Amino acid sequence: MSPLNEEQGKEYWRRNLSLMLKLLTIWFIVSYGFGIILVDVLNQIKIGGYQLGFWFAQQGSIYVFLGLIFYYAKRMAALDKEFGVEEDE
Amino acid sequence: MDLQTLTYVVVGFTFALYIGIAIWARAGSTKDFYVAGGGIHPIQNGMATAADWMSAASFISMAGLIALSYGGYGGSVFLMGWTGGYVILAMLIAPYLRKYGKFTVPEFIGDRFYSNSARTVAVICLIICSVTYVIGQMKGVGVAFSRFLEVDYDTGLYVGMTIVFFYAVLGGMKGITYTQIAQYCVLILAYTIPAIFISLQLTGNPVPQLGLGSTLVGTDVYLLDKLDMVVTDLGFKEYTTNVRLSGINMFAYTMSLMIGTAGLPHVIIRFFTVPKVKDARSSAGWALVFIAILYTTAPAVAGMARLNLIDTLGGEDGQGLIIEDRPVWFKNWEKTGLLNFDDKNGDGRIQYSADKEVNEMVKIDNDIMVLANPEIAKLPNWVIALVAAGGLAAALSTAAGLLLAISSAISHDLLKGILTPNISEKAELNASRIAMAFAIAGAGYLGLNPPGFAAGTVALAFGLAASSIFPALMMGIFSKSITKEGAIAGMVGGIGVTLFYVFQHKGIMFIPDTAFLGDTLPNWFLGIEPNAFGVVGAAVNFTVAFVVSRVTAEPPQEVQDLVEHIRVPVGSGEANAH
């Protein structure tokens, strides 16, 4: 069984969900937001030869996805330690 | 050495490597066979996952799909859809299933929804998705052989099956993991080397991701501006803004591919091979690193190859390529049927145009964008040989992963889990090898006699996974109140709606005459094409499961405890023991 009592268990899960929700919001904004919904607006801006909306759709969103996963992994490892639920080395 | 011999040498060397790994990495237990012993390093697993998941379609077809069929910007659905799924996988699926700590995806669904029926339904959904997917891979193997090695398609397929047989039957997940790592190295070199040279030639920048945003050599015109200009001159829509049908369709398409990625069993089971929950999280990141190397290069290949092709077809004076002067690579690919022209007006030149009446390039296959790249860029023969080995590596690695998902569902879920729970571990290991052999034979049969729909089924496999397995996993992890009746009805409803939509537009079992609604825009629900419908199927799945759960008895206490248990990393050892 989990070493956490009910209260702690709820708090751990709540913190996990809130981190997830923030990161998934960014995930949604860079791909569906910048890459699809707002693409025409962002295409008014140019960086080098790339129109910004096109860049997000074909390059930028992928780089942001990478950052999101590693950030999540790092923050969750810290959260596991804080609650003493990390696995033994 | 001529190209043919060199290609045999390079491909032969990679095959010898895979067989060597097969002999070295034999499986000694069911744990070896299903999850490679559970001790794979997260970076190694990331690399294996990248090869597992990047199929022949990613390697050979995707750049062409972006550049030609989806006309530039529209192809972004593949780029975002097939990478964004890893964010979902890393946060919403992989860590919890790793914590649960067993061998297959249907096993989790069966335990969480406390029912062998749910497990059986999950096995059926898994087999539908994976078989749809594996046909494309077997075809990829046959096609790569026939194009590069000039052996016939059937022979190529038999050779490919034999190689997979070796390492998948002997080593199971263990053999597959180490060969996938080798296959990743082969395919990524084969993809990036030609791309670097093309980028250098066109823009002077060796990094294709930057080259696509740079100016053309010797001018101050940006590559993408030039590309927009030449395609519009030919009557096509502007490359950088050409929407695939509609914003809604692009949205649905991207979402279907994303949640499909997070619901494909052969990808999920790769995360059962790492030692810890935190490794499952970071390993998804590493997988995306290795995938992103190809996925950020692909749009550059697409744009640059399209520009090169238009340039070649324009001829020296821009008035159309003089037929007698066409380059050697052009003639070579004509023989394979990937390129074809028809001098309709008889002026001895090839006119390329968006207008079907005037256009004389009657056939430009998507695959040409990757396959002919080294020749168009005048790269040495060893690069061409490497591209052949890369295409085969991409197809074989994905086929092996899919076959493992199929065979473990049969031996572990159906046999050990439901039909004969008392068989010994040794008997189960033998059964899993036999199931693998049958799965390879079955996939080979479908590769030799591909059903009419084999082309373009990869996107469909994602839609099916998105509408069936993904929602069941999500609800299993994030809700304690979804009942077995809810989950079963949801999966059946979700995959049913998706299949029904595909069949009504594409034909029942893809037999064209049986489509009762035409496959055109006005007949589509909200203008969503069949390949992009998985997300609607998923919505149906969630809704049905929720409603049915409200009216059925709530899950027993031990199931609610199981959900608590998988949400916290510590103690995954215990779960393994029972």
Nearest chain A CA: its distance from B89 CA (Å): 9
Give me the percent of chain B exceeding a pLDDT of 90.
Answer: 75
Q: Do B251 and A36 touch (CB under 8 A)?
A: yes
How far apart (Å, rounded) are the C-alpha atoms in residues B411 and A24? Answer: 37
Residue A10 CB partners (closer than 8 Å, separation 6+):
none
Q: B45 and B176 in contact (C-beta within 8 Å)? A: no
Residue B78 CB partners (closer than 8 Å, separation 6+):
B62, B65, B66, B70, B257
Q: How confident is the model at residue B512 (pLDDT cuts 50, 70, 90)?
A: low
Q: Which residues of A touch B58 (CB under 8 A)?
A: none
How high is the pLDDT of residue B454? Answer: 46
In this prediction, residues B350-369 reach a mean pLDDT of 92
How far apart (Å, rounded) are the C-alpha atoms in residues B539 and A2? Answer: 33
Token reading at B404: 């493992």
Token reading at B118: 């749910």
In this prediction, residues B392-399 reach a mean pLDDT of 93
Nearest chain B CA: its distance from A23 CA (Å): 9
Residue B419 domain flag: yes
Q: Which residues of B touch A32 (CB under 8 A)?
A: 251, 254-255
In this predicted structure, which of B98-102, B136-140, B262-266, B364-368 has the lowest mean pLDDT? B136-140
Q: Which residues of A touch B299 (CB under 8 A)?
A: 58-59
How high is the pLDDT of residue B574? Answer: 42
Residue B399 domain flag: yes
* B42: nearest Cα among B381, B274, B201: B274
Q: Which pTM value belongs to this model?
A: 0.94
Q: Identify the residue among B215, B568, B576 best suited for mutation to test binding to A, counting A beta carbons within 10 A and taking the highest.
A: B568
> Which residue type, as a one-letter code, is found at position B263?
G
Please count the structural domains in chain B: 1
How far apart (Å, rounded) are the C-alpha atoms in residues B36 and B28? Answer: 10
How far apart (Å, rounded) are the C-alpha atoms in residues B261 and B82? Answer: 7
How far apart (Å, rounded) are the C-alpha atoms in residues A24 and A45? Answer: 25
Query: Is some CB atom of chain B closer than 8 A to the CB atom of A71?
Result: no
Q: How confident is the model at residue B508 (pLDDT cuts 50, 70, 90)?
A: low
Q: Do A87 and B87 touch (CB under 8 A)?
A: no
How far apart (Å, rounded) are the C-alpha atoms in residues B293 and B273? Answer: 23
Q: Which residue has the higher pLDDT, B573 or B235?
A: B235
Residue B234 burial (10 A CB sphere; 0-12, 13-18, 19+): middle
Supply the mean pLDDT for chain B: 91
In this prediction, residues B352-367 reach a mean pLDDT of 92
Q: Which member of A57, A63, A86 has the closest CB to residue B570?
A: A86
Instruction: Kindly tell me the sign of the dihedral angle through the C-alpha atoms of B154, B155, B160, B163.
Output: positive
Give me the percent of chain A exceeding a pLDDT of 90.
Answer: 89
Token reading at A12: 């751990």
Greatest CA separation for chain B: 80
Q: Which member of A49, A54, A66 has the closest CB to residue B214?
A: A49
Question: CA distances (Å), B194 to each of B11, B75, B198, B222, in order?
Answer: 17, 21, 6, 21
Count chain A–chain B contacts defined by CB atoms under 8 A: 151
Which residue range(s) make up the domain with B48? 3-309+378-451
Q: Which residues of B touch A61 (CB under 8 A)?
A: 79-80, 83-84
Query: Is some CB atom of chain B closer than 8 A to the CB atom of A78?
Result: no
Q: Which residues of B touch A50 (CB under 8 A)?
A: 212-213, 224
How high is the pLDDT of residue B406? Answer: 95
Residue B553 domain flag: no
Nearest chain B CA: its distance from A1 CA (Å): 7
Q: How confident is the model at residue B578 (pLDDT cuts 50, 70, 90)?
A: very low
How far apart (Å, rounded) are the C-alpha atoms in residues B5 and B8? Answer: 5
Long-range contacts of range B19-24, CB-CB < 8 Å, 24 or more positions apart? B19/B163, B19/B166, B19/B167, B21/B167, B21/B171, B21/B175, B21/B178, B21/B179, B21/B182, B22/B166, B22/B167, B22/B170, B22/B171, B22/B175, B22/B179, B23/B170, B24/B178
Query: Is some CB atom of chain B closer than 8 A to the CB atom of A20?
Result: yes
Q: Which member of A40, A69, A86 has the closest CB to residue B86?
A: A69
Q: Which residues of B131-162 are buried (b: 16+ CB within 10 A; e: fewer)?
A: bbbbbbbbbbbbbbbbbbbeeebeebbbbbbe
Give me the percent of chain B exceeding a pLDDT of 70.
Answer: 96
Residue B346 burial (10 A CB sphere; 0-12, 13-18, 19+): exposed
For residue A66, is pLDDT > 90?
Answer: yes
Chain B's closest residue to A12, CA to CA, is B568
Grouping H, G, I as helix, E, B as strand and the rest as coil, residue B246 is: coil
CATH code of the domain covering residue B393: 1.10.4160
Q: How confident is the model at residue B120 (pLDDT cuts 50, 70, 90)?
A: very high
Chain B's closest residue to A64, CA to CA, is B84
Token reading at B272: 């059962």
In this prediction, residues B27-35 reach a mean pLDDT of 94
Residue B335 CB partners (closer than 8 Å, separation 6+):
none
Q: Do B225 and A49 touch (CB under 8 A)?
A: yes
In this prediction, residues B233-244 reach a mean pLDDT of 94
Q: Which residues of B touch A62 (CB under 8 A)?
A: 79-80, 83, 288, 292, 295-296
Q: B31 and B171 in contact (C-beta within 8 Å)? A: no
Q: Do A87 and B296 touch (CB under 8 A)?
A: no
Q: Which member of B73, B87, B570 has the closest CB to residue A57?
A: B73
Q: What angle do CA B506, B507, B513 make, to 5 degrees?
A: 115
How high is the pLDDT of residue B446? Answer: 87
Residue B565 domain flag: no
Q: Which member of A2, A32, A80 has the closest CB to residue B565?
A: A2
How far apart (Å, rounded) are the C-alpha atoms in residues B70 and B60? Answer: 15
For residue B576, is pLDDT > 60?
Answer: no
Q: How many CA atoms are closer than 13 Å to the CA of B356, on its beta-carbon side?
A: 0
Long-range contacts of range B146-149, CB-CB < 8 Å, 24 or more positions apart? B147/B336, B147/B371, B147/B388, B148/B7, B148/B11, B148/B385, B148/B387, B148/B388, B148/B391, B149/B4, B149/B7, B149/B8, B149/B11, B149/B388
How high is the pLDDT of residue B118? Answer: 97
Report residue B4 CA to chain centroid gap: 28
What is the DSSP secondary structure assignment for residue B342, as one 8-state letter? Answer: -
- Residues A3-45: tens digit of each pLDDT: 788 899 999 999 999 999 999 999 999 999 999 999 999 999 9
Q: How confident is the model at residue B452 (pLDDT cuts 50, 70, 90)?
A: low
Question: CA distances (Å), B203 to each of B343, B499, B529, in order?
Answer: 33, 45, 37
How high is the pLDDT of residue B151? Answer: 83
Q: Which residues of B touch A55 (CB under 8 A)?
A: 213
How high is the pLDDT of residue B573? Answer: 52
- Residues B186-208: tens digit of each pLDDT: 999 999 999 999 999 999 999 99
Query: Is some CB atom of chain B closer than 8 A to the CB atom of A77?
Result: yes
Q: How confident is the model at residue B513 (pLDDT cuts 50, 70, 90)?
A: low
Q: Which residues of A19-58 are buried (b: 16+ CB within 10 A; e: fewer)?
A: bbeebbebbebbbbbbbbbebeebbeebeebbbbbbbbbb
Nearest chain B CA: its distance from A53 CA (Å): 9
How high is the pLDDT of residue B57? Answer: 83
ipTM score over 0.90, yes or no: yes
Grouping H, G, I as helix, E, B as strand and the rest as coil, residue B55 is: coil
How high is the pLDDT of residue A24? Answer: 98
Q: Which residues of B touch A80 (CB under 8 A)?
A: 277-278, 569-570
Residue B570 domain flag: no
Q: Which residues of A touch B296 (CB under 8 A)?
A: 59, 62-63
CB atoms within 10 A of CB B13: 12
How far apart (Å, rounded) are the C-alpha atoms in residues B520 and B530? Answer: 10
- Residues B465-502: tens digit of each pLDDT: 999 999 999 999 999 999 999 999 999 999 999 999 88
Q: Are strands B339-340 and B363-364 parallel, antiparallel or unpaired?
A: antiparallel
Q: B78 and B246 in contact (C-beta within 8 Å)? A: no
What is the DSSP secondary structure assignment for residue B322, as one 8-state letter? Answer: E
- Residues B290-337: tens digit of each pLDDT: 999 999 999 999 999 999 999 999 988 888 999 999 998 899 888 878
Query: Is some CB atom of chain B closer than 8 A to the CB atom of A52?
Result: no
Q: Do A50 and B288 touch (CB under 8 A)?
A: no
Query: Is some CB atom of chain B closer than 8 A to the CB atom of A28?
Result: no
- Residues B534-553: tens digit of each pLDDT: 999 999 999 999 999 999 99
Report residue B272 CA to chain centroid gap: 20
